[in-house]
Chain A
Amino acid sequence: MIRYCSLSIQRSVRTFMTSSTQSQVAKLCIVGGGPAAFYTAQHIIKTFPECEIDILERLPVPFGLVRFGVAPDHPEVKNVINTFTKTAKSPQVRFAGNVNFGIDLSLQELKEAYHAVILTYGAEEDKTFGIPGENLKNIISAREFVGWYNGLPRDKDLNVDLSDENVVILGQGNVAVDAARMLLSPLDELRKTDITEHALATLADSKVKTVYLVGRRGPMQVAFTIKELREMINLKDCSSIFEKEHFQGIPELIPNLVRPRKRLTELLVKSALETNPKPSSKTFRPLFLRSPLSFTGDSKVTGVEFDLNTLQGEEFEHQTAISTGVKESIKSGLVLRSIGYRSVCADPGIPFDKQKGRVINTKGRVDHGVYSAGWLSTGPVGVILSTMSNAFETGANVVDDIRQDIINLNEKKPGLRAILSKLDARGVQTVSFDGWEKIDQEETKRGKALGKPREKIVNIGEMLQIAESGKKLTAKG
């Protein structure tokens, strides 16, 4: 069965090989199957069509954070999947899911099989505070929380307790706001999305009334973008309440700001100084100038102890938070930590900056024949446009290096065939793009029965089973 699946991918290798000049085909491998991978591939096949690009993804399903990160109530953002699918179906590209880089295959093995390896496996590890009580129950990383409602297999069994009225989210970026919106949105709005049924069931019993979004600095340093703020302000049956005292002097700064900070600050000030909050049953409360000192509770978290800060420094971009020595407690039965991610070093052969949690690279160039793109390259910042342009840049540099013979195409490389036989020998069942499309159809079917666009399958074994079902040999993997 395992062998069978890989054969269908192999066959597509041969089909393509016969139609091109064998010695001059660039055999490239992309590790990771998210937006950075597809945008890099898109750019390379356009500018250097004489290539074979194999995308190896750890999960059986493609699209990375577009599937598992983008909030379920932002379906429009997922339209990029249409372009990615087009790329996946182009004759030069093959997708192989369920391949765990660093475990099933090493970087050295990929370097031997390909002319170049492009690492795009993202940033999956959460940053932590390292303060007392951080291991209490119901202190959860926002990344896990997002994975839980978005059907990421490894987070499917996360135990989220929504029995308390108060939630503290630590961090003021877009992930933090997404988590807040999921907790504060009317359930009927979420039912129409592809949010997982297990999350929906838990949210249906939620007692949450107030979500605090806490940052260590002030309103001038928030990291979320204006669209996310506007959504919170316009959310049904939820009012946004700000601490007015933290906005002193800020309206005067606005004329000298530039976009996007200017418009974001205008909207913040306007909302903060709003005198008539709408009547609502839920409240969104951004809090500023607070750093967590410890978490309280016996086994489950019951509150957060904060140090109140003041800002030091002239230019607001570089202001730092320093403690005033004044303390404050906020009661909360759930804490979500959303202070950023770091990448993991998936293979000891990767030049890696442990401090910054990303691959050491210059414009996507890592080492001879090794490249990187996306969050692994830049750190976990920016919207899809940032990842797109970063991936295009890496793609352009790969093609430049091919054209300048820095990547030598005369060197014989076995490509996917060698990799698949290794995976076969190691008992790894790979999933082709056809296999993903079967999973996709099944998810859409299950979603339809529930009145949703899709019900995600969260069990890897089940995904593999569906991908294999009714398998027929196809020319294109």
Chain B
Amino acid sequence: MAQSALRGLCSRAQSFRLFVVPQRCHSLSRPLFKKEDVEVTFIKASGEAIKTKGKEGDSLLDVVVNNNIDLDGFGACEGTLTCSTCHLIFKQNDFDELPEKPTDEELDMLDLAYELTETSRLGCQINLSKKLNGLEVKVPSTINDARSS
């Protein structure tokens, strides 16, 4: 009873975490509901590294959207598996460690991505876990050389 009341209070507090002192809430309720931060670094085609954070369970597309990360045209279909604009390139080790293999539908979309590699995935299909903390992913350049003719 007391626990659930506390939980309600804390989750409400969490949603306004900019305006309350978060530490107290954090330490008291962490085992019950607190999702841990997971650190992610996006490396842009220019070489610029953007270090940011998401919560466990967030997709990499969520991380980009929630943190307002400036990636041109990223996530055009908003995570509905109908485009390939959230294409990300993983390091081989990280790629191998991803818990879920891509579905046919994800691979179908990746087929249309530029700079496709053996370790490419769609960001909207990758959910963060503690294990992925410190993940580094490469963002292919969207401005492709006009090869189509």
Nearest B residue (CB) for A75: B80
Q: Which of B80, B144, B149 contacts A389 (CB 8 A)?
A: B144
Of A21-29, A77-85, A415-423, which binds chain B?
A77-85
Asked if A253 is at the interface of the complex by the 8 Å CB criterion, the answer is: no
Asked if A381 is at the interface of the complex by the 8 Å CB criterion, the answer is: yes
Asked if B142 is at the interface of the complex by the 8 Å CB criterion, the answer is: yes
Of A53-61, A257-265, A425-433, which binds chain B?
A257-265
Chain A residues within 8 Å of B76, by CB? 79-80, 83, 384-385, 388
Q: Which of B70-91 touch A at CB < 8 Å?
A: 72-73, 76-78, 80-85
In whole angstroms, how far apart are the Cα atoms of A79 and B83 in the complex? 10
Chain B residues within 8 Å of A82, by CB? 78
- Are the CB atoms of A226 and B108 closer together than 8 Å? yes
- Are the CB atoms of A76 and B77 closer together than 8 Å? yes
Asked if B114 is at the interface of the complex by the 8 Å CB criterion, the answer is: yes
Asked if A46 is at the interface of the complex by the 8 Å CB criterion, the answer is: yes
- Are the CB atoms of B80 and A388 closer together than 8 Å? no
Nearest B residue (CB) for A383: B112
Given A388-B142, A392-B142, A396-B143, also A77-B111 (CB < 8 A) = no
- Are the CB atoms of B73 and A260 closer together than 8 Å? no
- Are the CB atoms of B148 and A385 closer together than 8 Å? no
Chain A residues within 8 Å of B85, by CB? 385, 388
Nearest B residue (CB) for A263: B111
- Are the CB atoms of A383 and B83 closer together than 8 Å? yes
- Are the CB atoms of B143 and A389 closer together than 8 Å? yes
Chain A residues within 8 Å of B81, by CB? 76
- Are the CB atoms of B111 and A260 closer together than 8 Å? yes
A375 to chain B, nearest CB (A): 10
- Are the CB atoms of B80 and A79 closer together than 8 Å? yes
In whole angstroms, how far apart are the Cα atoms of A83 and B85 in the complex? 13
Chain A residues within 8 Å of B108, by CB? 225-227, 230, 263
Given A77-B77, A388-B73, also A259-B83 (CB < 8 A) = no
- Are the CB atoms of B72 and A226 closer together than 8 Å? no
Per the CB 8 Å criterion, the residue count for chain A at the interface is 35
Given A230-B108, A384-B76, also A392-B148 (CB < 8 A) = no
- Are the CB atoms of B142 and A389 closer together than 8 Å? yes
Report the contact-size class of chain B (Cβ under 8 Å from the partner).
20 to 34
Nearest B residue (CB) for A389: B144
Q: Which of B111, B113, B146 contacts A390 (CB 8 A)?
A: B146
Asked if B116 is at the interface of the complex by the 8 Å CB criterion, the answer is: yes
- Are the CB atoms of B83 and A77 closer together than 8 Å? yes
Asked if B104 is at the interface of the complex by the 8 Å CB criterion, the answer is: yes
Asked if B105 is at the interface of the complex by the 8 Å CB criterion, the answer is: yes
Nearest B residue (CB) for A262: B111
Asked if A68 is at the interface of the complex by the 8 Å CB criterion, the answer is: no
Q: Which of B78, B116, B148 contacts A381 (CB 8 A)?
A: B148
Number of A-B residue pairs with CB-CB distance less than 8 Å in the complex they form: 88
Chain A residues within 8 Å of B73, by CB? 39, 42, 385, 388-389, 392
- Are the CB atoms of A378 and B148 closer together than 8 Å? yes
Q: Which of A214-264 touch B at CB < 8 Å?
A: 225-227, 230, 259-260, 263-264
In whole angstroms, how far apart are the Cα atoms of A39 and B143 in the complex? 12
Q: Which of A80, A227, A379, A381 contacts B109 (CB 8 A)?
A: A227
Provide the A361-395 mask, 1 if CB < 8 A to any CB of B, else 0: 00110000000000000110111111011101100
Q: Which of A392-410 touch B at CB < 8 Å?
A: 392-393, 396
**Most chain A C-beta atoms within 10 Å of own C-beta, residue among B84, B116, B143:** B143
Asked if B107 is at the interface of the complex by the 8 Å CB criterion, the answer is: yes
- Are the CB atoms of B148 and A259 closer together than 8 Å? no
In whole angstroms, how far apart are the Cα atoms of A76 and B116 in the complex? 23
- Are the CB atoms of B82 and A77 closer together than 8 Å? yes
- Are the CB atoms of A74 and B82 closer together than 8 Å? yes
Asked if A282 is at the interface of the complex by the 8 Å CB criterion, the answer is: no
Chain A residues within 8 Å of B83, by CB? 77, 80, 383-385
- Are the CB atoms of B111 and A393 closer together than 8 Å? no
- Are the CB atoms of A80 and B111 closer together than 8 Å? no
Asked if A413 is at the interface of the complex by the 8 Å CB criterion, the answer is: no
Asked if A342 is at the interface of the complex by the 8 Å CB criterion, the answer is: no
In whole angstroms, how far apart are the Cα atoms of A383 and B85 in the complex? 11
Provide the B39-67 mask, 1 if CB < 8 A to any CB of A, else 0: 00000000000000000000000000000
B112 to chain A, nearest CB (A): 6
Chain A residues within 8 Å of B146, by CB? 363-364, 378, 390, 393
Asked if A115 is at the interface of the complex by the 8 Å CB criterion, the answer is: no
Asked if A43 is at the interface of the complex by the 8 Å CB criterion, the answer is: yes
In whole angstroms, how far apart are the Cα atoms of A42 and B143 in the complex? 13
Q: Which of A23-81 touch B at CB < 8 Å?
A: 39, 42-43, 46, 74, 76-77, 79-80
In whole angstroms, how far apart are the Cα atoms of A379 and B148 in the complex? 9
Chain A residues within 8 Å of B78, by CB? 76, 79, 82
Chain B residues within 8 Å of A225, by CB? 108, 111-112
Q: Which of B80, B82, B104, B148 contacts A386 (CB 8 A)?
A: B148
Nearest A residue (CB) for B85: A385
Nearest A residue (CB) for B141: A389
In whole angstroms, how far apart are the Cα atoms of A74 and B72 in the complex? 23
- Are the CB atoms of A76 and B80 closer together than 8 Å? yes
In whole angstroms, how far apart are the Cα atoms of A263 and B146 in the complex? 24
In whole angstroms, how far apart are the Cα atoms of A278 and B149 in the complex? 40
- Name A's B-contacting residues (CB within 8 A): 39, 42-43, 46, 74, 76-77, 79-80, 82-83, 225-227, 230, 259-260, 263-264, 363-364, 378-379, 381-386, 388-390, 392-393, 396
Q: Pick the 3 closest A-B CB pairs, nearest first.
A: A260-B111, A76-B80, A76-B82
Extra pairs beyond A227-B105, A230-B104, A363-B146 (5, CB < 8 Å): A385-B112, A388-B85, A389-B73, A390-B144, A393-B143
